Copies of this chain bind each other. A is one copy, B any other.
Amino acid sequence: MGNFFLKNKLIILYGASLAAILILLKWLEFKYVIIDHSFEVYIGAIALIFTGLGIWLALKLVKPKTETIIIEREVYLSKPAEGFIPDEKALLKFGISKREWEVLALMSEGLSNQEIASHLFLSLNTIKTHSSNLFEKLEVKRRTQAVEKGKRLGLLA
C-alpha cells in the first residue's frame, strides 16, 4: 500500500540517508580520510554528521506538535460588510455544516427549495433534508425564522 510509504517516508528517508552516507564514507575511507587524518577525527566527523541528521529528523518529527488558536471576537452586527464572513463560532455552536449554511444563504435570498436545488445542482429532496436539519439546529420552525435568526447571529450578511 502506498499508504505505508507515506506514513513512514521519514523513516525510510532516514534509512536511505544512513545507507548513502555510509557508502560514501566507505568509498572515501580508502581515498583520503584514513590516509590524511587520524581515526579519531574520522569518528568525530561521523558523529557530527549523524548528530546533525538526528537533529533534522527530530525537528521534522516534532513539528505537528505546535498548535496556536487565538480567537478573539466581539461582534456588534447589524451591519453588512463587503466580503462577508459568517461567524465561525456561531456556526460551530449550532453545528451547522457547510452545505446547510449554503442553503440558508440562498434561503435568505428568497429562493424556493426547488430553486436552491437547481443552483446547487442537487435534488429537491436533498435541499429539504438540509433545511430540515438546519431548522432543527437553529431551533426554528420556518425558513423565514431561520433567515431572521441567521442574520441576528451573524451567519448571514
Contact = CB atoms under 8 A, between A and B. Distances in A.
Interface of A: 14, 18, 21-22, 25-26, 29, 39-40, 43-44, 46-59, 62, 65-80, 87, 89-90, 107-112, 140-149, 151-154
Contact of A54 (B53, B67, B147, B149): B53
Contacts of A108: 144, 148
Given A54-B53, A58-B59, A148-B110, A72 B71 contact: yes
Contacts of A75: 74-76
Given A54-B57, A62-B62, A67-B68, 14 more contacts: A48-B50, A51-B54, A54-B58, A55-B58, A58-B59, A71-B71, A73-B74, A76-B90, A77-B77, A78-B152, A107-B144, A109-B148, A110-B144, A144-B144
